[in-house]
Amino acid sequence: MTTSRWVLAAAAALVVAAVVVAASVDWRFWYRWYTLPDDPGEWPASYYQPAVAIPGDPSPFFPIASAGERSLDDAALNAAADWAEAHNSAALLVLHEGIVQLERYWQDIGSDSLFTGRAMTRSLIPPLIANAIEDGAIESVDDPVGRYVPEWRDDPRGEITLRQLLWNVSGLENPPLAGDPDPDNKNSRVSLSSDFRAAALDFGLENEPGTFFALSNANAQLLGVVLEAATGQQYESYLNQRLWAPMGAGSAELYFDRPGGMPADYCCFRATPRDWLRYGHALLMDGRVNGKQLWPRGWVAEMTQPSPVYQNYGYQIWVGNPAGPVRPYMQGNPQGAPHGEPIAADGVFFLEGGGYRTMYILPEQELVILRLGYYDPDWKTSALPNLILHGVRETPQVDPDS
């Protein structure tokens, strides 16, 4: 071989080696890692890449009450808006009996702005599970994961049930959800890698399934893995076809691990405040929207039943009031959301994401309250609903003898 050919062959070998090394170390993860925003919990819109559009099928928004037509007292609504603005909010929407009572925006956010719900995203999953059961793609929430995930078919993790994933009592390991970023943390991998499916499957078994509550990104991501395997559809397609478009919502976005890969179904869904509110109303109505049943009737009642292990969590959604002022994210761990005094309503349940994004559903009062925004050190989960509950007008009682 001549010297020039030898040099060309060596150069080609180096290129191949570089490609192999780049693939093996997941260059996309490291690119994301080294370009993390200063606040890794609040990514700018430009960081959610690649993103895939969920087209939806927009329908008219709810009617908006004028000042003289509101069914909630103005003083209570204004107090809630003032509290929200003072606590780093970007949007506050209040829906009562199907009519918008309040719609306020701050911090350059408007009704058509896409806003990430962060962990509110995982609360979109349970109705899709219900629909997959109705479709016959999944037999029941007590199916073992190994039925749908071949890598776990002969693994103890394969015995974890869908119900245990929904309740966050899977027993999978619990790396810290917050604190200083660490590239070796498995939660970092499930949010930044080029293969969210593989990252979720890498979580090991730490506790006996069904015995320990821990809010987990991996649990929600695995439910998406199951949905794709069971339905034979991509998660984003099933979401749009069976929930988002029939609900009348408009365009939204899912954050993907790589082009043509899998979305983060536990986090970072970006939708307008008005479309987030539509989903809250759909939950309030148990899926009955615009004359259509979006999921099997009675599902919300099942979805909001807490597990025997932890009283404040249902199927990927928060329920009720904790025993103390903090709602723990993990059994036996003090880290959690500052809840404050109890929410003064029975049957309340709510979606919650990082930065205290929260959508409350109060069935007895036919109320949906959406707060989008960012972290505030003086946040209390119960503050907004309790302020608004002061404004619920009692129906006048008629004296039958008058």
pLDDT tens column, 18-39:
333 444 579 999 999 999 998 8
pLDDT value for 176: 77
What is the arithmetic mean of pLDDT over 131-139? 98
Please, which pLDDT band fits residue 397 given cuts at 50, 70 and 90?
very low
pLDDT value for 164: 98
What is the arithmetic mean of pLDDT over 232-238? 98
In eight-state DSSP terms, residue 277 is H
Model confidence pLDDT, tens digit, residues 87-130: 999 999 999 999 999 999 999 999 999 999 999 999 999 999 99
Model confidence pLDDT, tens digit, residues 155-199: 999 999 999 999 999 999 988 765 567 888 899 999 999 999 999
pLDDT value for 3: 54
Q: How far apart are CA 350 and CA 355, in angstroms?
A: 15
Q: How far apart are CA 308 and CA 167, in angstroms?
A: 10
Strand pairing of 318-319 and 292-293? Answer: unpaired
End-to-end CA distance of the chain: 112
Whether the upstream peptide bond of residue 50 has omega within 30° of 0, thus cis, is yes
pLDDT value for 350: 98
pLDDT value for 12: 43
Cβ contacts of 349 within 8 Å, gap of 6 or more: 283, 304, 314, 317, 318, 319, 320, 360, 361
Q: Among residues of the chain, what percentage have pLDDT more than 70?
A: 90
Helix%, strand%, coil% for the chain, nearest 5: 40, 15, 45
pLDDT value for 41: 83
Ordered domains of the chain (ranges, CATH): 49-107+115-389 (3.40.710.10)
Indicate if the pLDDT at residue 9 is higher than 80: no
E strands, 201-261, are 252-255
Q: b/e per residue, 139-166, with b = 16+ CB within 10 A?
A: eebebbbbbbbeebeeeebbebbbbbbb
Q: Among residues of the chain, what percentage have pLDDT more than 90?
A: 84
Model confidence pLDDT, tens digit, residues 239-266: 999 999 999 999 999 999 999 999 999 9
Token pair, residue 311, equals: 């009283």
Indicate if the pLDDT at residue 2 is higher than 70: no
Model confidence pLDDT, tens digit, residues 339-381: 999 999 999 999 999 999 999 999 999 999 999 999 999 999 9
Cα distances from 55 to residues 141, 249, 254, 257, in angstroms, run: 29, 9, 11, 19
Mapped onto helix, strand or coil, the DSSP state of residue 307 is coil
Partner residues linked to 371 by β-bridges: 92, 358
